Every structure is written in structure tokens, then in C-alpha cells.
Amino acid sequence: MQSISPEIIFRGDSAWIKSLPQIAKLTKRPLLLGRSLATNNLRKKIYSDLEKENLNVQEANLQFDCCMEDLNRLKKITLKNRCDSIIASGGGKVLDAGKYLAECLSIPCITVPLSASTCAGWTALSNIYTTTGQFIEDVALSSCPKILVFDHGFIKTAPRRTLASGIADALAKWYESSLTSSKMDDGLVQHAIQISRVLRDQLLIDGEKAFNYKYDERLSWCNTIEACGLTAGLIGGIGGEKCRTAAAHAIHNAITQIITPKKFLHGEIVGIGILLQLKLEEIKNNNNLANQSIKQLLVLMKEINLPTTISELGINVFEKNNLEKIAQFTCKDKSEIHFLPFAVNKEDIIKVISYFEKQEIKI
């Protein structure tokens, strides 16, 4: 069984308003799930619009990232209020929590992304973290959300940083799946990989213009936000679990194990993982083009203010045994790193991280 996409997708400048009649058909007592104070005004509008549709809306917020402590608390709230759906409105952690909660309670989920930072509004997958933001596992869900509302007006209010994060996360679709799945004979997987290649090219062309959005670059912005929030999700839907993540996400998961004062977005860390994966390809797989890809990516990443080294995340890998911890977690059993078509060990991870942290690379 493979869930490819949400049942209904609304997209564009008036997507939210257009979605309301359909939402009202699906639910009468939704739980509106959110988190960030920065999106509070948007969620007030969403709440008000839902009430105008004569829906009995309950509200709840995440206290942490998508973690079991929060999910168990929210489960009780949902049951106590006899809610018949979850409307998850926010960033990737909120969307993941909403999808997981709906699955556990066998009620429909409606996702309303408030940024283009991830494709979590689309996918049948939830990432689970600790209360302090350390990655634990990803959980495959039985279905994608019932309804996805990708409202451009909502997305436009998000900080530019979230779009940069989304660009990095979407780029990983190509760099990971083309490496792990290119030799599979499954036609849909091959189609997903080719879509991810087109996605990469589009982001390399339009990413900077979208990040520095001006009115005359509206098309680049629209194409880029939908590439990050929708097309990236479609790739995962078509490719399924065979369209694997690889080193970039494995390294992301490992880096989150180091607790830092400042929190970084998922895609910001994944972007560093892409660079490290490419260096692994060059060293371990004799890919002479990988270094050129690194240089190409570094240009874009610097233009859109993405971190390019772990030290830029506020982590000194050469103290407190951090380098060993990251390498150990990256290479643990069942890590995505082992989907690579060549063997990688802790020493390899230590070598490529040290290479970047010592700033031996030039654009």
C-alpha cells in the first residue's frame, strides 16, 4: 500500500477561503493545532473563519517539537473534546504532530502550512523528537492528509529563513534519491527521481530570486514555494520508501543530538548534510563531479544565508566529544546512511566533517 498524495489540495492566493466549504463537509468539531507565537494572528484568522462555517472549534498548541510527551497530552485533549478532525497549522513539527495524532485517533487530518520550510503538509510521515529537539525516529503513516491547504498569502507572511530551509530540504530529494535509488527498476521510483532532478534545477535557477522576493519576481517565488511545499512531497509520494533518504538526513538526525542554545530549522541542518554527503561521494565513490556540485551549492547557500558548516550551528565538533557523537549516531544500525551504494563508517564521517570545519574548501 502506498499513499501518494492528499485527497484534496487547495493552492494559491485564496486557497484557505476556497477550502472552507470542503472542510465544513469533512468536520464539525476540529482541533486546531498550532505552536508559534509568530503565527498566532494567522491562527486567530483561521479560527474565526472556521467558526463562521458553524464549526465547533477547539484549540491546542504544541509545547515542544513533535514529541511523545506532547502527542500523549494532545491525544487526551482531542478525546475529551470529542474532536472529529485535526487541523494542523504551522511549520513542519506542527504538521507532523497533527498527522500522527489524527492517525492514532483514526480521524482525518487537514494540513495548513504557514511556511514553505518543508513538505510535511503533504507526506504520510511524521518525525518524532525528544522534548529538547533530538531526533528519535520517523514513523510511516497509513495515509497522507485528507486535505492540504497551501495558501500563498499565509506563506508570504513567513520569515525568509523558512524559505531558505525549504529550499535546502527540497534539494536533498535529488542528491539523496538519485544516489540511493537510481539503479532500481521500479518505474515510479525512476519518475520520482527525474522529477527531483527538475526540482533541483528549478531551485538552483529561482531559489535566490525567490528568497529576495520582489514583485517582478513573483513567478519565481510562487514556483519555489510550491517546489518546496508540494513538489517535494509528490516526489516522496510517488517514490515511496524506495525513494530513500541517505546521508544528508542521517547527518541531520545526528546533529540534532547535540543540544545548542539556538534552535535551527530542519532544512538548515539538512543543507549541511548534503554538502557532507557529496564529499563522501567524492572520497568513497570516486565521483569527480561531486566537488563541482559542492561549489555550485555553496554559492546558492551563501546567497540565501544558509549555514554551510556545523560550527555555524553553534556546535564546536572538536570539543565535548561532539565529533565522535555525531559520527556514532550517523552510522548506527538502521541509519539512512546505509542506503548509500558504498560502505561508510565513523572514520569517514569524522574525516568529511573535519574537512569542512577546517575550512579547507573554497568556492
Return the pLDDT at 1. Answer: 74
Residue that terminates a domain, selected from 123, 156, 189: 156
What lies within 8 Å, CB to CB, of 22 at 6+ separation is 8, 10, 147
Residue type, 83: C
The answer for residues whose C-beta is within 8 angstroms of residue 334's C-beta and 6 or more apart is: none
Which of 208, 267, 263 is closest to 232 using CA atoms?
Answer: 267
In total, how many domains does the chain have?
2
Whether residue 87 contacts residue 59, with contact meaning beta carbons closer than 8 Å, is answered with no
The model's pTM: 0.95
CATH code of 193's domain = 1.20.1090.10
Answer yes or no: do 169 and 318 share one domain.
yes
Domain boundary among 156, 184, 207: 156
What pairs with residue 151 in β-bridges?
Answer: 12
Question: In 187-265, which ranges are continuous DSSP H helix?
Answer: 187-211, 218-226, 232-239, 247-255
Residues 312, 200, single domain; the answer is yes
Residue 2, in any domain of the structure: no
The pLDDT score that the predictor gives to residue 245 is 84
On whether both 132 and 91 belong to a single domain, the answer is yes
Which stretch of DSSP H or E encloses residue 30? strand 30-34
Clarify whether residues 175 and 152 are in a common domain.
no
What does the pLDDT read at residue 329? 98
Q: Which domain holds residue 299?
A: 161-357
Q: Is 104 exposed, middle or buried (0-12, 13-18, 19+ CB in 10 A)?
A: middle
Say yes or no: 148 and 196 in one domain: no
Alpha helices by DSSP H, listed for the chain, are 15-26, 40-52, 68-80, 92-105, 152-156, 160-180, 187-211, 218-226, 232-239, 247-255, 266-284, 290-303, 322-330, 346-357
Per-residue cell: 325: 557523537
Q: What is the pLDDT of residue 35?
A: 94
Do residues 25 and 74 share a domain?
Answer: yes
Among residues 130, 156, 182, which one ends one of the domains? 156
**Position 2, amino acid:** Q
Q: Are 343 and 211 in the same domain?
A: yes
Same domain, 59 and 85: yes
Instruction: Specify the pLDDT at position 294.
Output: 95
In angstroms, what CA-CA distances link 272 with 17, 118, 229, 294, 302?
Answer: 38, 16, 20, 10, 12
Q: Residue 80 is part of a domain; what is its CATH number? A: 3.40.50.1970
One domain, residues 206 and 135: no
Give a yes or no: residue 1 inside a domain.
no
Q: Look at residue 362 in the predicted model and tell me its pLDDT.
A: 43
Supply the pLDDT for residue 359.
66
Q: What is the mean pLDDT of each run of 10 residues along the chain (363 residues)?
A: 92 97 98 92 97 97 95 97 98 97 98 97 97 95 97 96 98 94 86 96 96 85 97 93 84 95 94 97 90 95 97 94 97 93 95 85 43
